[in-house]
Amino acid sequence: MNKPSLPSHAEIVIIGGGVMGASTAYHLAKRGIRDVVLLEREEFFGQGSTGRCAGGIRHQFSTGINIELSLKSLAMLQNFQQETGQAIDIKLCGYLFLLSTPAEMAQFEQNVALQNSHGVMSEIWTNGQIAERVPLLNLDGIIGGSYYGGDGIADPSGVVNGYIAAARERGAKAFNGVTVTDIDTQAGAISMVHTNLGSIQTSTVVNAAGPWSAQIAALVDVDLPVNSERQQILVTTPMPTIPADFPFIIDFHQRLYFHREGAGLLTGMSIVGEAPTYEQTINADWTMQHMDKAMERLPIMETAGKLTEWAGLYEVTPDAHPIIGPIAEVKGFYAVTGFSGHGFMHGPIAGLLVSEQILGGAAHTIDITSLRAERFVEGQLIKEFNVV
């Protein structure tokens, strides 16, 4: 394969070709900025965290800002095919959270009240309602749950490639197989991006590198509080008895989840307490722990085989909220990262918001001052409870 020929200059360089970078490139190009260059180090776009996620899209969060991000972003996903021409296979199958303790129930009751106040009509469900909706579940240890039918799943690859194609149609340039090796500054401002295939003069860099965003920030001597956490996902062989309306189910206490994937099920169980890592190999011991818990909660899993399995990375901040916007220490350096497992669903709105900041000085579609990077040193953290 021929190596790409990079331009020597760009008005804006975006580092990272997942959903954040693709959305940002599209929204900048849509607003008339043609001199945009997107750099992705993998052979194909969306092979990083976006391509390894579970594809969930939900409104059920515990903070107003995350609920508002979902409201705007999921509406954009609903309109995605009309806007870009790319199908993304949205299925609003609903999200069902299973709760195990009185403390979890109390928190989710508050969450549902907050969601309702934003127009998201989620509900607290009894075990009877849960059993009626999903009779295949074993509800031992479950005291109730929360449900919203407007949540569901979509195709991450379709979203990324749809945005990339639409951005290119509007004049943006996107390159694969390009690794950023350094970033130069002059007088405290961005001046040059160096890569394995050449250098690009620019005054603006968008750090959309996901789990690797702290490494990119370190190139300009910025300490970005984003760590990477390894997670594993498994897809089963076909399971004909799984109903077509099977929801996205999350056993919240165990951080265990299931949803339909083709004719089978996709399932994961988040790894908690492991040291930050960039390793994306499968841990067979964790697979066994995961499958034991999965079969316990959904006994029909005992009849399934393994079709495929993979590991990926979450990009995690101390308060499980993203960083969107300019980094004060370096003029022209922006971040759109740290989504803590919620990046795919918030990618559409995040790219729009950072484009508004670059071109207009501030985001106006949503007030995201609470998501500025400075909150960590100012002690203004906004903790998200509904993290899976």
pLDDT tens for 188-203 read 999 999 999 999 999 9
pTM score: 0.94
For residue 327, pLDDT beyond 90: yes
Mean of pLDDT values over 141-165: 96
Question: Predicted confidence band at 273 (pLDDT cuts at 50, 70, 90)?
Answer: confident
- Give the model confidence (pLDDT) of 330-348 as tens digits: 999 999 999 998 889 999 9
pLDDT value, residue 279: 87
User: What CATH fold (topology level) applies to the domain 91-151+227-316?
Assistant: D-Amino Acid Oxidase; Chain A, domain 2 (3.30.9)
Query: What distances in angstroms separate CA 141 from CA 134, 239, 252, 269, one per listed residue?
Result: 16, 25, 12, 17
pLDDT above 70 coverage of the chain, percent: 97
Mean of pLDDT values over 210-233: 95
Mean of pLDDT values over 265-272: 91
Question: Predicted confidence band at 1 (pLDDT cuts at 50, 70, 90)?
Answer: very low
- For the 12-53+157-226+319-378 domain, the top CATH level (class) is alpha beta
pLDDT value, residue 276: 85
Query: What distances in angstroms separate CA 237 from CA 265, 288, 304, one per listed residue?
Result: 8, 17, 6
109 closest CA partner among 127, 122, 90, 92: 122
- Give the model confidence (pLDDT) of 63-116 as tens digits: 999 999 999 999 999 999 999 999 999 999 999 999 999 999 999 999 999 999
DSSP 268-299: EE---SPPP-------HHHHHHHHHHHHHHSG
157 closest CA partner among 60, 89, 248: 89
Q: Where are the domains of the chain?
A: 12-53+157-226+319-378, 91-151+227-316
* pLDDT mean across residues, the chain: 94
H-state helical runs in 213-332: 213-218, 284-297
